[in-house]
Amino acid sequence: MKSLKIFSLAVAASAMFISSCSKKELDRVNFNPNNPSDVSAKFILTDMITSTAFSVVGGDISLYSSVYLEHEAGVWGQTFNAETRVGEPTQATTYNNSWNAIYANIKSLKIIIAKTSAGGPEEGNDVTCGIAKVLLAYNLGVLTDFFGDTPFSESGVIDASGSPVILQPKIDKQSELYPQIQTLLDDAITLLDGTDGAGTGSVGNQDLIYGGNKALWKKAAYGLKARYLMHTLKISSDVDGDLTKVVDNIDKSFEGADEELIFNIYDGEANINPLFGYSNARDGLGVSQSLAKKFKDLNDPRGEQAFMDYNFEAISLDDAIADGVPNGTPVQQQYTYPISVAEYATTAPTLLLSYHELMFLKAEALARMNQDGEAKDALKEAVIAAFANLSRSLNSTSDSYGLGLSIDLSEDVATDYFDNEVTPRFEANALKEIMLQKYLAFYGASGESTEAFNDYRRLKAMGEADFIGLENPLNASNKFPLRFTYGNSDVSANPSVKAAYGDGNYVYTENVWWAGGTR
């Protein structure tokens, strides 16, 4: 009875407390200060930069692209299935994590833009809005490059309570989406001439790439305009005009590698490079024989420094070729095949847009316009910068594991290679050498296999796939993925996406619009 009396008194006291509380006080009781319902746009922007770099550029899209493009070879689990074209290339679950990440980013970036645009609570924060538009253009670009026709205009639209307005957004045509990429970048360039004038203050250090330096974001926007315009070369109605625009945009972009769009916060402990994260957890990759043979055939000094065995002992290029993974026909096994040193580059940054990419784009544009002298100068800049980037990754692995590897990809080494090896091939076939060097430059831990996949598909569409020369025999049986499957989250929930997905085999037959397809 004593305990019952105590309980009764407690209930009575609680009732008295509740009856005496005001609504304002009750609201305060139910409020979690660590979970605010609204935050300033600049704080959302930090998450968007991180997610775009880690989950979109450096995540599964780059991983699978590296397998299809033979930068790496898949030897275990999902990457083995991708290598052998069993299941993974056609399944809706394969790229679902990246699909979800991109759409989450689109929603949040649209929120930032609404907040900082006319009529929004942070109207006047033009720089923050400009950065968000660059990132929205970037996420949209990756989305439609890999998935083709896809929901966008009705995606990420929310009501005042934060709930989606449209649960099953329509599919937009890639031919309609690509002009929007350029418009977003043009808008960003204009906004980045402004300031962050709202009371919430400037983006500052919430910008993990440029620390709020609007001039560098503007340069990045011009560089992205060049990238996305080059994607459409196959379907251009004014090829020379568009190539001239590519060069003009690049001339307004990065002046060196110190200005590139780079996510460089990995410390090897709390924050790690995403390729390292995969390799350390899954061990699903091995040395691609076709890549190693390219290094050998081109007498490329990167080849002797790029590979090691599973005991983390450096191996020769000849051993990498002899023991490497036969593309398309590996034995599914771990801890056997040699691996890329760059796989374990714990601190290697993710490159959203590199200086060497822009120089390769410039070289390509100039070569296509028969301006080989200027193209050669741009190519040399690209090769030197690419050597430096790979060197950073190889040294990251060596330093993180105390391997003491002998890495020398200095400017002198790159220049010697360019003068004695690249130049004769350039003089024989300038465009082929440019695209081959770009393909080799995008190998590594920087997430650039993503863009290499775009390059190969547009070359293939233009009858120039032999510039790269992939060796997976399954490609000859129409088993090279021309695109990625829609994500399972929407295949299972959106009838329009489900119908477009079908059985998934469209990935082998349907080019995206800019590669001459219809979807």
Ordered DSSP codes for 406-456: -----HHHHHHHIIIIIHHHHHH-HHHHHHHHHHHHT-SSSSTHHHHHHHH
pLDDT (0 to 100) of residue 10: 40
pLDDT at 33: 54
Token output for 157? 């639209």
Give the model's confidence band at 45: pLDDT under 50 very low, under 70 low, under 90 confident, else very high. Answer: very high
pLDDT of residue 335: 96
Task: Collapse the DSSP code of 352 into the 3-class scheme (helix H, G, I; strand E, B; otherwise coil) and give the result.
Answer: strand
> What integer pLDDT is reported at residue 162 of this predicted model?
86
pLDDT in tens, 242-296: 999 999 999 999 999 999 999 999 999 999 999 999 999 999 999 999 999 999 9
Write out the two tokens for 62: 């780059």
Q: What pLDDT, on the 0 to 100 scale, is given for residue 11?
A: 38
pLDDT of residue 332: 99
CB-based contact 460:466 (threshold 8 Å):
no
pLDDT in tens, 345-368: 999 999 999 999 999 999 999 999
Question: pLDDT-derived band of residue 425, with 50, 70 and 90 as boundaries?
Answer: very high
- State the number of CA atoms in the 13 A half-sphere of 166 facing the CB: 14
More confident residue, 36 or 417: 417
On the question of pLDDT at 27 being above 70, the answer is no
Q: Is the pLDDT of residue 19 over 90?
A: no
pLDDT in the model for residue 34 = 53
- The whole-angstrom separation of Cα 450 and Cα 350 is 11
Q: For residue 433, name the pLDDT band (cuts at 50, 70, 90).
A: very high
Residue 4 in this model has a pLDDT that exceeds 80:
no
Contact call for residues 325 and 378 (beta carbons, < 8 A): no
pLDDT, position 36: 56
Model confidence, pTM: 0.93
Q: What pLDDT does residue 37 have? A: 60
285: enclosing H helix or E strand: strand 285-286
- C-alpha 419/C-alpha 441 separation (Å) is 17
In the predicted structure, residue 2 carries a pLDDT above the cut 80? no
Confidence check: pLDDT of 3 > 70: no
Residues 453-481 pLDDT 10s: 999 999 999 999 999 999 999 999 999 99
Kindly indicate the confidence band of residue 18, based on its pLDDT and cuts at 50, 70 and 90. Answer: very low
Instruction: Map tokens 């992205």 to a residue.
Output: 224
Query: Residue 24: is its pLDDT beyond 60?
Result: no
Q: How far is CA 85 from CA 61, 74, 80, in A?
A: 16, 10, 8
Residue 161: which pLDDT band, with cuts at 50, 70 and 90? Answer: confident
- Amino acid (1-letter code) at residue 231: H
Q: Going from the N-terminus, what domains does the chain have, and what CATH number goes with each?
A: 41-276+344-472+488-515 (1.25.40.390)
| Predicted local confidence at residue 325, as pLDDT | 99
| Per-residue confidence (pLDDT) for residue 160, from 0 to 100 | 85
Of the candidates 174, 187, 79, 62, the one whose C-alpha atom is nearest the C-alpha of residue 134 is: 187
Residue 136 CA to residue 351 CA, distance in Å, equals 17
For every residue of 266-279, which 3-state class applies, written as one string? CCCCCCCCHHHHHH
